[in-house]
C-alpha cells in the first residue's frame, strides 16, 4: 500500500491538488483513476447521494472504469444499510484532457 492509498477518505476526496490514488472531485463530478481506491470513491458517492440524491462519476480507460463500477457496487451496500437504493446510468461523454479529446464513461448515480 502506497502513502497515497493509505490517505484517509476525508483527504482523498475534495483535495484541490490530489495525488495519485485519490479521488478528484469538482462541481459534484467524481473523477476516478486506475489508482483510485473503490472504497474511498464509494464513500464519496454515498456522501454526495445523501446530500443531493444524485452523483456523477467519470472515468477514462478500462482500469479506471473498473474502479468506478466497483465503487458504485460498494456505495450501494453502504447506502442500502440506510434504506437508500441507488441505480446507475452509464453513458459516453467526450472530455478535453490537455487539449486532447478523450471519451470517458460517465456513470450517473441516482436514488431509485
- Say whether residue 39 binds a copy of itself (CB under 8 A): no
- For the CB of residue 62, give the shortest distance to a copy of itself in the complex, in Å: 4
Is residue 83 exposed (0-12), middle (13-18) or buried (19+ Cβ within 10 Å)?
exposed
- Say whether residue 72 binds a copy of itself (CB under 8 A): yes
- Say whether residue 65 binds a copy of itself (CB under 8 A): yes
d(CA 111, CA 18) in angstroms, rounded, equals: 28
Residues that bind a copy of itself (CB under 8 A): 61-63, 65-66, 69-70, 72-73, 76, 87-92, 105, 107, 112
Amino acid at each position: 500500500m502506497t502513502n497515497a492509498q493509505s490517505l484517509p477518505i476525508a483527504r482523498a476526496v475534495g483535495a484541490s491538488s490530489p495525488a495519485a490514488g485519490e479521488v478528484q472531485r469538482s462541481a459534484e463530478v467524481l473523477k476516478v483513476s486506475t489508482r483510485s481506491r473503490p472504497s474511498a470513491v464509494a464513500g464519496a458517492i454515498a456522501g454526495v447521494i445523501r446530500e443531493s440524491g444524485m452523483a456523477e462519476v467519470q472515468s477514462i480507460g478500462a482500469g479506471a472504469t473498473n474502479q468506478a463500477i466497483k465503487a458504485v457496487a460498494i456505495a450501494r451496500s453502504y447506502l442500502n444499510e440506510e434504506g437508500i437504493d441507488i441505480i446507475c446510468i452509464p453513458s459516453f461523454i467526450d472530455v478535453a484532457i490537455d487539449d486532447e479529446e478523450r471519451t470517458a464513461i460517465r456513470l450517473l448515480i441516482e436514488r431509485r
